[in-house]
Amino acid sequence: MVKMMSNIKNQNLEKWNNLKLITEKSNKKVYFKERDIFWLKVGENIGFEQNGKGDKFQRPVLVVKRYTNDMFLGIPLSTTLRDGSFFFQFSFKEDEISTALLVQQRLFSSKRCIKKIGKINQEDFRKLKQKLYDLIFDEDFCPSKEGAIPKENCK
């Protein structure tokens, strides 16, 4: 069973590597701003890093900070509802809650952008940025797994 899972992971990494090579050659210009939400080619990643899904290894990503025309700090989104210091829930589509995976924030190239799908409202964005700041710079936080750190350390 473990060997079969390893083979599937290796196949996905190979498929992603081929798509990544094609994506790197792209000269398509994508314009983005802070608060925009795009489908991105996130990829097949390792360990606990968030993967994309489907043939394009895609996942919705929120643009948190635009650094240049070609790169930004982004946070992958999920439709799985999660609580704790690592997550922020908001809605940008009617009747659908999204969870920002704050702990998965990272730098993205605009070459990974597929298509804009929405925008987070200003108030939710302000709250998300504060929660992200607290996660990065505050010593007290609660990870997603129960018992990973003492409860008295959690806000």
At 50 the pLDDT is 85
Has this prediction a pTM greater than 0.75? yes
pLDDT digits (tens, 9 = 90+) for 41-70: 988 777 787 888 888 889 999 999 999 999
Spatial separation of the C-alpha atoms in residues 27 and 121, rounded to whole Å: 30
Question: Mean pLDDT for each 10-residue chunk of the chain (155 residues)?
Answer: 67 84 88 97 82 89 97 97 93 94 96 96 98 87 58 53
At 147 the pLDDT is 52
Domains of the chain, CATH where assigned: 2-139 (2.30.30.110)
Q: What is the DSSP string of 26-77?
A: --------TTEEEEEE----STTSPPPBTTTTEEEEEEEEE-SSSEEEEEEE
Strands 71-78 and 106-109, by their bridges, are antiparallel
Strands 58-66 and 96-101, by their bridges, are unpaired
Q: What angle do CA 57, 98, 135 make, to 5 degrees?
A: 95
